[in-house]
Structure 1
Amino acid sequence: MQPEVIEHVWIPLRDGCRLSARLWLPEGLAGRPFPAVLEYIPYRKRDGTRGRDEPMHGFFAANGYAAVRVDMRGTGESEGLLADEYLLQEQEDALDVIAWIAAQPWCSGAVGMMGKSWGGFNSLQVAARRPPALKAIITAYSTDDRFRDDIHFMGGCLLNDNLWWGSIMLAYQARPQDPAVAGEGWRKAWLDRLEALPFFPAIWASHQRYDEYWRHGSVQEDWSAIQCPVLAVGGWADSYTNAVPRLLANLQGPRRGIIGPWGHIYPQDGVPGPAIGFLQEALRWWDHWLKGRDTGVMEEPMLRAYVNDAVRPDGSRPHQPGRWVGEPDWPSPRMTLRELHLIAAGALSGEPDPAPGARSIRSPLWHGMAAGEWMATGCPGEMPTDQRLDDGGALVFETAPLDAPLEILGAPELEVLIASDAPVAQVAVRLCDVLPTGEVLRVSYQVLNLTHRHGHTAPEPLVPGRAEPVRITLSACGHRFAPGHRVRLSVATSYWPIIWPAPSPATLTLDTAGCVLRLPCREGGDAIEPYAPALHGTNAPTTQVDPGRIARWSRIDHLTGDYTYVTEGEGGLFGEGVLRFDEIDSTLSHSLRRELTIRPDDPLSARYVLSQSYEMGREGWRIQIVTTTRMGSDAGAFTLDGTMDVFENGARVWAREWVERVPRDLL
């Protein structure tokens, strides 16, 4: 069936604002209503996500669903203004959108909601509001905890991606409505949008503990609020995987989980591969809950996860070897915790240290050069590289070569007895697989601002010299350590360029008498059948105007000690190059350069500069948005500043500067 595509429809909201939607309707409706699938995000349905939307939503429409892709208020072709992410207004609008969809003659009254990242977040948030027509959701690469597991903070440490994403959002939100949709009023609406543009990275950086700002939209605050069925999806190479096990463990209604090897990409296009037939799986989920067909999805394992095998560490990884396994429940009764004790001599052992002692570390501040990106998106060079580059700046504990396979699935936990010589300090922990050939592959990691050792709500300074027990939960992972390989644990005091450093250098001392690593070991249970190959709907007609370019490199200046990390993407932010969508004659180009610099012994030397250019349009209507954002700090505050210049057909029509000083809150 070839779906009918309606390029633009207005959805009226209760306050008079209108949201813009794109529809894919099953062929030959002839008065027959169908269930609907909603995706509701701020990334421009007309051009921003057109290449991804067309084959996905077209697939659903070809299989008997009305697919509805809506631009949120203040984004894309929709009216209004966007002040921040995940606001109450966003949820209220979604309730109106769902009610509008359910009342359309082409809709049966049953609505499903799905999304990746922002759309995965708001699918959970809207489900917690219980709109009557919402019968099920699919949430991919999302979180239940906006402080602990989003792009702003990790373990109470400020992620450098906070500036990256905030800067991208500046460019995204500076884009105008398309005159071909909005008509003559597009330019005034555009200038209004520009005047109201918030300085996103400073807003997010100012909330440095789990306060009301983050509680809003964190569905862990009330698990019982979500009663509709939930399919939760994650990927080991992505940064939004931890929520899947927590959702499965805490939700009370019907739920299922899938975790693959992928980065931040829908699984039908997943990288590292293997990609899977995710659209077919989604269809089975929708058929079960929106059409009432018994597709067998609820008889299958609660969690289906891909267990990675070891590979040589390479920043570019198109394929990940491994196998699919299934767990009937989560937490799984097949899981056991295996304890490995840290030994002062540098070993990891099944027995406690017979001669415990103190081990101290003050890492160079460029420790983390082999970390790769916080969030993989399928780009070359973004994955963690050989961890030997970082292990020289860390405390390292390692097992003997394994004589049998060791398979883990879940979140490893490290308990340490630790003292700091500074009141504010960080710890970075990496779990690694040491190959017989010597290469070291990162399996999982976690960072922790030690002032958050008792929780993220009320940080407390450390008492210099006082040893305290601290528990660190590493990110969930699925990995098989093969016989002959070694398990390695590395402990350091910094993780640049992933996180911003503490305000002063710190030395950490571990007392091995109180240090143990607990691995969630999977015992028994054979591999399950792999998924069917990926299917897609028809692609949007697209012309590759320029292939673009990606560069990623680092250097150390041996005169000054400066370490610099640079990434550059020309033409396409995620390696897609410059594209023209032929049906709407719109060309998009997005170039971005990041440069992060630090000296090995001076955290106040940290500097971050990000410049970007976003270009869009067609003959007679060409828009360019140019931004530069910077971040630095002193002992008491962060300084974030930015400039933006906006051009229409080569003439500058708007300019803005921001300078924000954000006090440090034990960070």
Structure 2
Amino acid sequence: MQPDVIEHVWIPMRDGCRLSARLWLPEGLAGRPAPAVLEYIPYRKRDGTRGRDEPMHGFFAANGYAAIRVDMRGSGESEGLMADEYLAQEQEDALDVIAWIAAQPWCSGSVGMMGKSWGGFNSLQVAARRPPALKAIITVYSTDDRFRDDIHFMGGCLLNDNLWWGSIMLAYQARPQDPAVAGEGWREAWLDRLDALPFFPATWASHQSYDDYWRHGSVQEDWSAIRCPVLAVGGWADTYTNAVPRLLANLQVPRRGIIGPWGHIYPQDGVPGPAIGFLQEALRWWDHWLKGLDTGVMEEPMLRAYVNDAVVPDGSRLHQPGRWVGEPDWPSPRISLRELHLTAASVLSPEADPAPGARTIRSPLWHGMAAGEWMATGCPGEMPTDQRLDDGGALVFETAPLEVPLEILGAPELELLLESDAPVAQVAVRLCDVLPSGEVLRVSYQVLNLTHRNGHASPEPLVPGQAETVRITLNACGHRFAPGHRVRLSVATSYWPLVWPAPSAATLTLDTAGCVLRLPCREGGDAIEPFAPALHGTDAPTTQVDPGRVARWSRIDHLTGECTYVTEGEGGLFGEGVLRFDEIDTTLSHSLRRELTVRPDDPLSACYVLTQAYDMGREGWRIRIETTTRMISSAETFRIGGEMAVHENGTRVWTRNWDEEIPRVLI
């Protein structure tokens, strides 16, 4: 059954603004209204996400649902302006959208909401507003805590992806409405949008602790506000996985979780594979909660997770060996913490070493070159590579070769008794699997701004020379250490190019007698049946105009010690190349280059420059957006600047410069 596709629909808001939507309806719907599935994001339904939307929402429509993809206010063809992410206005508009959908003659009055990343965030946030027609949600790669687990900060450290994502948002939000939809007023509305463009990376970098800015939209502030069923989905290669166990543990509604091996890609297209039949799983969820059918979805384990097996580390791996396991409840009674103690002899031992053992570390500031990307998206070279490259700049502790398998599922915990010689310092820890052949695979990691050791709301400087116990929760993971492998823990004082360095190069001293690693070990429970193979609806007619190019490299200047890290994507930001959507005769090209440099002993030498070009359009309507953004810092401030030039049919029509200095507050 082929869906009926309506390319453009206006949805009126209470203040008169109109949002643009694309609609897929089941074939021959007349007289038989259907439940609706909403996805509500700012990435342009007409061209930006068309290639992903068509087979997904078309699948839902072919299986009896009205599927609707809405551009948020100030994005795509929608009217109005966007001032920031996750604003109250965004939620208010969503309430209006859901009420409008429920009132349409093609809708049964029941609405489900789903989304990945931004759409996963606002599915949770809107659920907490409790619109009457919203009966269930699916949140994919999202967070309950906007400060702790989002693209701006990690462990109280400023992520360098804050500039990356902020720069991409500048280009995304500079795109105009399509004249074929918006009509004659598109150009005036475009210039208004450009004039109102916020400088996203500086806005986000100015909020350096868990303040009211981040509390807004963090559903952990009131778990009880969500009263509809929740399906939460994560991926081990993604960075929004920690929220899944927390949602399962804290929500008070019917809930289920799925965590696979994937990066930031819907699981039906998941990389590294295996991809799964996620659309079928979503359909079972919708059928149960929107149609009242008994699909057995609530008889599944509360958490279904993929436990990774070790592989030789490869930055471009497309497949991850492992198996699916199920936990009927979360937290699971089958998982308990097993202690491994750090010793002065660099051993991870089941037995504590009572003798004090001082170990000091001051890592070169380029430690972290083998980290891969903070957020994997299926691009070549983005996964963590052999960790031996970084272990030379860290303290390393490891077990003897294992005699029996060791399977972990959940968040490892590390307790360190340490002192610093500076009031502001970082610690970066990595949990790794050492293969018998010598390669080292990263299993989990975490960074912590040590001024946030007692919480992210009220940072406190360290007292140089004063020993303190610091507790670090590593990223959730699922991994099986095989017999003959070793468990390795690495402790360092920097993690470049993932996070911006502390203002001084600090030395940490660990007292190993007070240091212990606790692993969430899973006992018992056989593997469960794997998911069905991935299915899709019909693809959007698309032509690849150019395959594009992806490059990734680093180098060290042996005269100055300066390290340079570069990634380049030409034609397609995520390796997809230059594409033309044939039905709307629109071609898209997005090129971006990042260059990050730092010297090994001078954190104030850190420099980040990002250049990008976004081209879109068709004959007679061609838009080009060029940006350059950069970041440097002193001990007291971050300095973030940039330029943007916008062209229409080869003529520059708009320019803007930014130069903002932001005080550093214990970061």
Q: Distance in 1 between matches of 2:393 and 2:276?
A: 39
Unaligned runs of 5+ in 1: none
Deviation readout 1:329-370 (Å, 9 max, x if unpaired): 000010011000001110000000143311000000000000
Residue aligning to 1:244 = 244
Q: Distance in 2 between matches of 1:131 and 1:321?
A: 41
Measured after TM superposition, the shift of residue 20 of structure 1 is 0.1
Deviation readout 1:271-327 (Å, 9 max, x if unpaired): 000000000000000000000001001011000000000000010010000000000
Residue aligning to 1:272 = 272
Q: Distance in 1 between matches of 2:361 and 2:615?
A: 47
Deviation readout 1:536-590 (Å, 9 max, x if unpaired): 0000000000000000000000111110000000000000000000000000000
Residue aligning to 1:217 = 217
Q: Distance in 2 between matches of 1:515 and 1:434?
A: 21
Matched, 1:205 2:230: no
Secondary structure of 1:281 counterpart: helix
**AA of the residue aligned to 2:400:** A
Residue aligning to 1:125 = 125
> Structure 1 runs of 4+ off > 4 angstroms?
none
Secondary structure of 1:574 counterpart: coil
Q: Distance in 1 between matches of 2:509 and 2:142?
A: 35
Residue aligning to 1:464 = 464
**AA of the residue aligned to 1:232:** A
Q: Distance in 2 between matches of 1:577 and 1:454?
A: 45
Residue aligning to 2:293 = 293
Residue aligning to 1:648 = 648
Q: Distance in 1 between matches of 2:198 and 2:427?
A: 33
Matches within 5 A, 1:429-578: 429-578=429-578
Residue aligning to 1:170 = 170
**AA of the residue aligned to 1:187:** R
**AA of the residue aligned to 2:501:** P
In the alignment, is the contact (CA less than 8 A) between 2:147 and 2:210 conserved in 1? yes
Residue aligning to 1:403 = 403
Measured after TM superposition, the shift of residue 513 of structure 1 is 1.2
**AA of the residue aligned to 2:612:** Q
Identity of aligned residues (%): 89
Q: Distance in 1 between matches of 2:432 and 2:596?
A: 25
Secondary structure of 1:92 counterpart: helix
Residue aligning to 2:8 = 8
Matched, 1:324 2:324: yes
Deviation readout 1:397-433 (Å, 9 max, x if unpaired): 0000000000000000000101000000000000000
Matches within 5 A, 1:136-155: 136-155=136-155
Residue aligning to 1:256 = 256
Query: Which segment is superposed worse, 349-358 or 70-79?
Result: 349-358
Secondary structure of 2:223 counterpart: helix
Q: Distance in 1 between matches of 2:546 and 2:579?
A: 7
Q: Distance in 1 between matches of 2:535 and 2:550?
A: 28
Secondary structure of 1:57 counterpart: helix
Matches within 5 A, 1:363-374: 363-374=363-374
Q: Distance in 1 between matches of 2:625 and 2:344?
A: 55
**AA of the residue aligned to 1:591:** S
Matches within 5 A, 1:571-586: 571-586=571-586
Measured after TM superposition, the shift of residue 98 of structure 1 is 0.1
Secondary structure of 1:583 counterpart: helix
Secondary structure of 1:245 counterpart: helix
Q: Distance in 2 between matches of 1:153 and 1:319?
A: 29
Q: Distance in 2 between matches of 1:226 and 1:339?
A: 36
Deviation readout 1:478-525 (Å, 9 max, x if unpaired): 000000000000000000000000000100000011100000000000
Count residues with an aligned counterpart. Answer: 667
Matched, 1:17 2:14: no
**AA of the residue aligned to 1:321:** P
Q: Distance in 2 between matches of 1:524 and 1:635?
A: 51
Q: Distance in 1 between matches of 2:75 and 2:416?
A: 46
Residue aligning to 2:90 = 90
Matched, 1:160 2:129: no
Measured after TM superposition, the shift of residue 30 of structure 1 is 2.0
**AA of the residue aligned to 1:422:** A
Pairwise CA RMSD of aligned residues? 0.4
Q: Distance in 2 between matches of 1:137 and 1:651?
A: 45
Q: Distance in 1 between matches of 2:528 and 2:661?
A: 53
**AA of the residue aligned to 1:179:** P
**AA of the residue aligned to 1:409:** L
Measured after TM superposition, the shift of residue 443 of structure 1 is 0.1
Secondary structure of 1:604 counterpart: strand
**AA of the residue aligned to 2:455:** G
Q: Distance in 2 between matches of 1:354 and 1:67?
A: 62
**AA of the residue aligned to 1:385:** T
Q: Distance in 2 between matches of 1:10 and 1:430?
A: 49
Matched, 1:75 2:54: no
Deviation readout 1:352-400 (Å, 9 max, x if unpaired): 0143311000000000000000000000000000000000000000000
In the alignment, is the contact (CA less than 8 A) between 2:428 and 2:491 conserved in 1? yes
**AA of the residue aligned to 2:381:** G
Secondary structure of 2:2 counterpart: coil
In the alignment, is the contact (CA less than 8 A) between 2:30 and 2:106 conserved in 1? no
Matched, 1:420 2:430: no
Residue aligning to 1:37 = 37
Matches within 5 A, 1:226-241: 226-241=226-241
Q: Distance in 2 between matches of 1:93 and 1:418?
A: 49
Matches within 5 A, 1:605-644: 605-644=605-644
Q: Distance in 1 between matches of 2:31 and 2:539?
A: 27
Measured after TM superposition, the shift of residue 31 of structure 1 is 1.5
Deviation readout 1:132-173 (Å, 9 max, x if unpaired): 000000000000000000000000000000000000000000
Secondary structure of 1:14 counterpart: coil
- TM-score (normalizing by structure 1): 1.00
**AA of the residue aligned to 1:429:** V
Unaligned runs of 5+ in 2: none
Q: Distance in 2 between matches of 1:300 and 1:44?
A: 35
Residue aligning to 2:110 = 110
**AA of the residue aligned to 1:42:** P
**AA of the residue aligned to 1:550:** V
In the alignment, is the contact (CA less than 8 A) between 2:594 and 2:610 conserved in 1? yes
Secondary structure of 1:656 counterpart: strand
**AA of the residue aligned to 1:134:** L
Q: Distance in 1 between matches of 2:31 and 2:192?
A: 41
**AA of the residue aligned to 1:540:** A
Q: Distance in 1 between matches of 2:30 and 2:347?
A: 71
Q: Distance in 2 between matches of 1:413 and 1:580?
A: 47
